[in-house]
Amino acid sequence: MAVQVIMPKLGMAMTEGTVVKWLKEDGAPVKRGEPIVVVMSKKITYEVQSPADGVVRHVAQPKDVRGIGEIIGFITEPGEPLPEVTVGAAPAEAVPVEAAAPAAPAAAPAVKAEAPEREEKVIPASPAARRLAKELGVDLARVRPSGPRITEEDVRRYHEERTRIVASPLARRMAEEEGLDLAEIQGTGPGGRITEEDVLRALEKRAAPAAAPRQRIPFLGMRQAIAEQMVHSLQTMAQVTITAKADVTELVATREALAVRWGRKASYTDFLVRAVVVALQKHPLLGAKLEGDEIVLPTEWNIGVAVALEDGLIVPVLRNADKLSVLQISDRIRDLAQRARENALNVDEVTGATFTITNLGMYGVDAFTPIINPPEVAILGVGRIFEEPAIVGGQIVPRSRMVLSLTIDHRIVDGAPGAAFLQTLVQLLEHPALIFAAEEG
């Protein structure tokens, strides 16, 4: 009795999938549990395992799109006729992947065991032909035998015919003289033959205003490290970004006032580092690490500050930021950023952060979705400061605002604790006195 192979459900939102590639040829014997076909949802690819012992029979072909639960193939007994599949008939019940294995064989109304769609028979071929076909990836069913059975020579001829470039003598000569690669020219003549016209078109394309040589940037070193780090981060964490708007009118005024007293201006990042430390101490989960099956809370308050470099970025770490005043933070950040640009940081100056701050405010960015720097569990994105009308005491007055974007790893930090941290941070920024109160206390 034929067992159906159906399009599995690979995700909650998935309604249909695409057949990517059959791993077993049509008619190949297969054991239950062996991967037989690769299917793909919009998000992932998945190897479907054989639901039974038997012979694989293809129904859907690569690139075919099928709804969840629709039949894409069968596992039959050897020699058993292929059941007829009514296209568009009600699909078998959608089964999530976990339960996809042996799909219910009978019952499905879509399947009628009627006339075989095609006769399954063993293709006569010499052992050498079979071996070569396998080597070259040739489907023996497509090879025309020159005698009673397919020979090695038949396979070779088929493969050559399929792979050789067909071009007119003139096209070949032109390509040779012009230094064009025929393999890159699309043939439009009979049977895809490359003609004079095709080569002329290629020449024209080449002659077209020689696009300035494309600049190539080596994807190596720091660039590659950032790439790996970011992809790893997004692939392993459940990241969610929440934003909140802070009224920083007072912070702006405080900063100006302190600038007069200190004789130089601290950056907003300097204040933010201090505020973040205070908020973290109240919500230590945001500075936690996942170690095996344990979430480990922080004991040190090391804050990473992303610094843009000419060809990348680096995150120097302010160790024990809780022990530093805003002014000290300001000095340290200047020093770290300076040495970062000179490529003169020590390893312990770029590792071991509890939490990271990245500020794109100077580029006019409002909000964004920063990517967490593993193994941290959260990162704060800082937007620009802008003025907007607000109602204070029944009057419309201008206020300075800043959007904070907090990305949290939802595996460890749920929305509420994340929001609570953000709320604390907003309060600290809106009342800068609290920052210094904590500093002094």
Partner 1 sequence: MAERQDLVVIGGGAGGFAAAMRAAQLGGKVTVIESAYLGGNCMNKACIPLTCLLTTAQLAAAVRKADRFGIRLGEPAIEMETVHSRKDVLIESLRMGTEQLLSDNGITLIQGKGRLVAPDTVEVNGQTIQARNVVIATGSAPAQLPIEGADLPGVIGTEEAIELRDIPARIAVIGRQPWDIELAQYFQALGSEVTLIVDGDQVLAEADRTIAQRLGKRLYDAGIALKMRSRVEAIRPGANGSLTVVLAEGKGEIAADRVLAARRLPNSSGLGLREVGVKTEGGAILVNERMETSIPHIYAIGDVIPGPMWSHKANAEGIVAAENAMGRASRMDYGSLPHCVFTWPQVAWVGLTEEQAQAQGIEVEIGQVPLAINPHAMILDETAGEIKIIACKKYSKIVGVHIMAPGAVDLINAAAVAMLSEATVGELMRLIPRHPSLGEALVDAAMDVEKRSLHLPKW
Q: How far is the CB of 179 from partner 1 (least distance, A)?
A: 13
Q: Which is nearer to partner 1, 70 or 198 (CB)?
A: 198
Q: How far is the CB of 158 from partner 1 (least distance, A)?
A: 24
Interface residues toward partner 1, by CB under 8 A? 168-171, 173-174, 177, 195-196
Enumerate residues 6+ apart whose C-beta is below 8 A from 88.
none
The pair of three-digit structure tokens given for residue 135, joined into one six-digit string: 């080597």
Output 114 or 176, the one with its CB closest to partner 1. 176
CB 33 within 8 A of CB 47: no
Q: 305 near 334, Cβ under 8 Å?
A: no
Do the beta carbons of residue 260 and residue 315 sit within 8 Å?
no
Active site residue 58: no
**Distance from chain centroid for Cα 146:** 49
Cα gap 353→304, rounded to integer Å = 5
Distance of CA 248 to the CA centre of its chain: 36
Cβ proximity to partner 1, 174 vs 318, nearer residue: 174
Tell the smallest beta-carbon distance from residue 174 to partner 1 (Å).
Answer: 5
Least distance in Å: CB of 98 to partner 1? Answer: 50
**Which pair of tokens denotes residue 243?**
């934003």
Q: Cβ 30 to partner 1, closest distance in Å?
A: 44
Task: Measure the CA–CA gap between 182 and 171, rounded to whole angstroms.
Answer: 8
Q: For residues 105 and 111, what is the distance between their CA atoms, to the nearest angstrom?
A: 9
Name which of 174 and 280 has its Cβ closer to partner 1.
174
Q: Write down the catalytic residue from 53, 159, 331, 410.
A: 410
Query: Which letter, b or e, does each residue of 205-239 get, where b requires 16 or more Cβ atoms within 10 Å of its Cβ?
Result: eeeeeeeeeeeeeeeeeeeeeeeeeeeebeeebeb
Rank residues 169 and 218 by Cβ distance to partner 1 and give the closer one: 169
**232 catalytic per annotation:** no
Question: Catalytic residue numbers?
Answer: 410, 414
